[in-house]
Amino acid sequence: MSTVAENEEKTSKAIPGQPSRLSRYVAAFVPPVILGAAVIGLWYYITFGVLAEKRRFLLRPIHSVIDIGFLDGDNRSESLNALWSSTEVALIGLSISIGLGFVLAILMSQAKFLERAIFPYMVTLQAIPILAIVPLISFWFGTGQTSRVVVCVIISLFPIIVNTLFGLQSAEKGMHDLFTLHHANRFTRLRKLMFPAALPAIFAGLRISAGLSVIGAIVGDFFFGKGEAGIGQMLKKHANRLQGEELLACVILSSALGVMVFWIFGVIQNKAVGRWHEANSATT
Amino acid sequence: MNTNLNTSSSLKFNDIGMIFPDGTEALRNISFELSKGEFVTIVGPSGCGKSTLLKIASGLLEPTNGSVEVDRERLGYVFQDATLLPWRTVSKNVELLAELHGTDSHERKRLVKESIELVGLEGFENHYPKSLSGGMKMRCSLARSLTLKPPVFLFDEPFGAVDEITREHLNEETQQLFKQEGFAGLFITHSISEAVFMSTKVLVMSARPGRIVAEFDIPFEYPRKPDLRFSADFAELCGKVSVELRGSHS
């Protein structure tokens, strides 16, 4: 018996002709670096080549954005405080979404009638333009942190529910049959079959929701515009005062926050499912 | 359904009939039994209800007519797909059923080690299914059922998706396991040579509704050597089964 297994082992080891680690890194990093350089080039061209001097406030050159937006001590501490405030809101909102989303998805996965009952309302909640309920939210919850968190939750809840539910329902019928044959109860089936099978989809949802929670935190802050200043309020203030450098610095910070949460969840996803998930191994 | 057994047979079908809710009649008047030391293979055209019969035997489906007598506590069942859980390593997959049956962890480890050795997967304990070949996945799936020490082992066309050479190896290994472990085996396939090579008895099932239309006792001694496949007696038996199968198909 072992001879067959050994032969099979040989063929499953590293395939010759595979590109080396270094050349794979080069292939991964060179294209975005080239594109990034081209964008910076275009940026300078627009600032100095297209815009007349008195209209140059519309797009400040990149070095002065760095100089004024990031290297100036006062501006920097103000922006970083705002960034922290928004991060805090996004994390609280995302945590609530994850908790609430998991509970609702698990309930829906356990009984078809619950899925039928809850799902339409989730779609409705998702479909409401956030602008339309901002006045209502400030009416109910005031204009402080609570309201920003509520906006975050409303924006980021849906992808978690949909992906978790889809994941929980993704285990193959044959696997369910196996658990049925061996008299697994509901809880065992959830824990040993449905939940692990759902992990790749759950992480896909988490990455989307993490990005959305950052948007929610900034949008909420932008509209309510009161209380501890977050990135949203900074954006509004700098835009009103035509402070191009500071405004661009805040835009860069907020997108960096979005990229960072996306990346963090990507890393967690790799740790959790990278070893076994088919689709995952290709991207790592 | 009666799960008490009379002493002689391990699995007994009593006049099984199956009509699905959409009106499709899958099985009609199926009656046979198999005992310890018997390996019965059912060959039949695709869609004749072979798999349905195994689902009925295992309790996954209730027949619309008749009854099954079998002890379902420790039923070995290998599906068409290996149905390995992709997030579990080979040894954790093999451990699953013992886990579901509440076996204590020390005993589980012992059973896992033993079963993995039986199917020749030593050295692959920590591999995930995605890095296994089709044949190795099936071995892992066999090992998973072997941990139960099943008195009755159901095989639902398990080697249909692997290549010819691997399939022949797996056939040889399966009949070794059958002799070693002494279970009563019920195997489903549409490969005649696979059926004749492994079994003590081959049943031919007709196209829908599935009925048993012929029965062949296979006299070859165990353990059966690979070159049995090239003997005249083997070819003759395969020929006879083939004629019946063709007859049932028309």
DSSP B210: B
Whether the pLDDT of residue B6 is over 70: the answer is no
B120/A277 CB distance under 8 A: no
A1 vs B87, B124, B173: nearest CB: B173
A182 vs B101, B130, B166: nearest CB: B101
A264, containing H or E segment:
helix A244-273
Cα(B217)–Cα(B238) distance, integer angstroms: 12
pLDDT digits (tens, 9 = 90+) for B31-56: 999 988 899 999 988 877 888 999 99
Whether the pLDDT of residue A192 is over 60: the answer is yes
A196/B79 CB distance under 8 A: no
Residue B214 belongs to a domain = yes
**The predicted structure's pLDDT at residue B204:** 92
Whether the pLDDT of residue B178 is over 70: the answer is yes
Lowest mean pLDDT among A13-27, B40-54, B63-77, B231-245: A13-27
Fold classification of A79-283 is: MetI-like fold (1.10.3720)
DSSP B243: H
**Which chain B residues have a beta carbon less than 8 Å from that of A278?**
86, 130
Q: Which among A171, A152, A133 has a CA at the least distance from the CA of A88?
A: A152
Angle at A88 between CA A83 and CA A94, to 5 degrees: 120
Whether the pLDDT of residue B7 is over 60: the answer is no
Q: HEC profile for A44-96?
A: HHHHHHHCCHHHHHHCCCHHHHHHHHHHCHHHHHHHHHHHHHHHHHHHHHHHH
Q: What percent of chain B has pLDDT over 90?
A: 56
B58/A181 CB distance under 8 A: yes
Whether the pLDDT of residue A168 is over 90: the answer is yes
Whether the pLDDT of residue B248 is over 80: the answer is no
**The predicted structure's pLDDT at residue B46:** 81
Which of B132, B149, B166 lies at the terminal end of a domain, its last residue?
B149
CATH of the domain at B234: 3.40.50.300
Q: Which among B50, B46, B135 has a CA at the least distance from the CA of B84?
A: B135
Most distant CA atoms of chain A, gap in Å: 82
Is the domain of B162 the same as that of B228?
yes
Cα(A120)–Cα(B187) distance, integer angstroms: 47
Is the domain of B35 the same as that of B131?
no
Residue B241 belongs to a domain = yes
Average pLDDT over residues B17-42: 91
Residue B250 belongs to a domain = yes
Taking the CA of residue A18 and the nearest CA in chain B, the distance in Å comes to 17
Whether the pLDDT of residue A6 is over 50: the answer is no
B86/A276 CB distance under 8 A: yes
Residue B79 belongs to a domain = no
pLDDT grade for A9, boundaries at 50, 70 and 90 = very low
Any residues with CB less than 8 A from the CB of B99 and at least 6 apart, and which? A192, B108
Helix (H, G, I), strand (E, B) or coil at B31: strand
Is the domain of B238 the same as that of B155?
yes
Residue B89 belongs to a domain = yes
Domain count, chain B: 2
pLDDT grade for A281, boundaries at 50, 70 and 90 = very low
**Which chain A residues have a beta carbon less than 8 Å from that of B72?**
181
**Which of B84, B94, B100 to mutate: most A Cβ within 10 Å?**
B100
A5 vs B75, B97, B136: nearest CB: B136
Whether the pLDDT of residue B123 is over 70: the answer is yes
Q: Helices B105-118 & B134-146, crossing angle to 10 degrees?
A: 130
**Which chain A residues have a beta carbon less than 8 Å from that of B99?**
192
Burial classification of residue A270, based on how many CB atoms lie within 10 Å of its CB (0-12 exposed, 13-18 middle, 19 or more buried) = middle
Lowest mean pLDDT among A72-76, A99-103, A162-166, B106-110: A72-76
**The predicted structure's pLDDT at residue B250:** 55
What pTM did the predictor assign?
0.81
Is the domain of B217 the same as that of B144?
no
Cα(B191)–Cα(B43) distance, integer angstroms: 7
A8/B121 CB distance under 8 A: no
Mean pLDDT (chain A, rounded):
86
Average pLDDT over residues B142-155: 92
Q: Which among A146, A108, A143 has a CA at the least distance from the CA of A224?
A: A143
Whether the pLDDT of residue A193 is over 80: the answer is yes
A172/B101 CB distance under 8 A: no
Is the domain of B63 the same as that of B158?
yes
Alpha helix segments (H runs only) across B29-163: 50-58, 90-100, 105-118, 134-146
Average pLDDT over residues B99-106: 91
**The predicted structure's pLDDT at residue A227:** 76
Is the domain of B6 the same as that of B70?
yes
**The predicted structure's pLDDT at residue B45:** 85
**The predicted structure's pLDDT at residue B5:** 44
- Kindly report each contact of residues B239-242 with a partner whose C-beta sits within 8 Å and lies 24 or more positions away, as own/partner: B240/B216, B241/B43, B241/B192, B241/B195, B241/B196, B241/B202, B241/B204, B241/B214, B241/B216, B242/B192
Is the domain of B120 the same as that of B97?
yes
Residues of A with CB under 8 A from a CB of B: 1-2, 4-5, 8-9, 11-12, 172, 174-175, 177-184, 188, 192-193, 196-197, 199, 273, 275-278, 281
Taking the CA of residue A1 and the nearest CA in chain B, the distance in Å comes to 5
Is the domain of B32 the same as that of B142?
no
Whether the pLDDT of residue A5 is over 60: the answer is no
Q: Which among A201, A182, A183, A181 has a CA at the least distance from the CA of A109?
A: A201
What are the residue boundaries of the structural domains of chain A, listed by start? 79-283
Gyration radius from chain A CA atoms: 24
Q: How far is CA B59 from CA A264, B15, B184, in A?
A: 46, 16, 17
Domain boundaries, position B247:
1-74+150-250
Is the domain of B56 the same as that of B166?
yes
B122/A178 CB distance under 8 A: no
DSSP A191: I
Q: What is the DSSP string of B7-27?
A: SS-SEEEEEEEEE-TTS-EEE
Q: Which among B31, B45, B38 has a CA at the least distance from the CA of B189?
A: B45
A182 vs B80, B87, B97: nearest CB: B97
Whether the pLDDT of residue A199 is over 60: the answer is yes
Is the domain of B119 the same as that of B224?
no
**The predicted structure's pLDDT at residue B86:** 93
Lowest mean pLDDT among A251-255, A279-283, B108-112, B126-130: A279-283
Taking the CA of residue A182 and the nearest CA in chain B, the distance in Å comes to 7
B60 vs A180, A273, A281: nearest CB: A180
Average pLDDT over residues A166-174: 93
Helix (H, G, I), strand (E, B) or coil at B154: strand
**The predicted structure's pLDDT at residue A11:** 44
pLDDT grade for A188, boundaries at 50, 70 and 90 = very high
Q: Which residue in chain A has the smallest CA separation from B131?
A: A12
B166/A196 CB distance under 8 A: no
pLDDT digits (tens, 9 = 90+) for A14-35: 455 667 888 888 888 999 999 9
CB B102 within 8 A of CB B156: no
**Which chain B residues have a beta carbon less than 8 Å from that of A199?**
87
CB B125 within 8 A of CB B90: yes
Burial A88-118 (b: 16+ CB within 10 A, else e): bbbbbbbebbbeebbebbbebbeeeeebeeb
Query: Can you list the positions of beta strands (E) in chain B?
Result: 11-19, 25-34, 39-43, 65-70, 75-78, 152-156, 184-189, 201-205, 212-217
**The predicted structure's pLDDT at residue B14:** 92
ipTM of the complex: 0.88
Under 8 Å CB pairs connecting chains A and B tally to 79
Helix (H, G, I), strand (E, B) or coil at B158: coil
B79/A177 CB distance under 8 A: yes
Taking the CA of residue B235 and the nearest CA in chain A, the distance in Å comes to 26
Burial classification of residue B71, based on how many CB atoms lie within 10 Å of its CB (0-12 exposed, 13-18 middle, 19 or more buried) = middle
**The predicted structure's pLDDT at residue A226:** 78
Query: Which residue type, as a one-letter code, is found at position A104?
Result: L
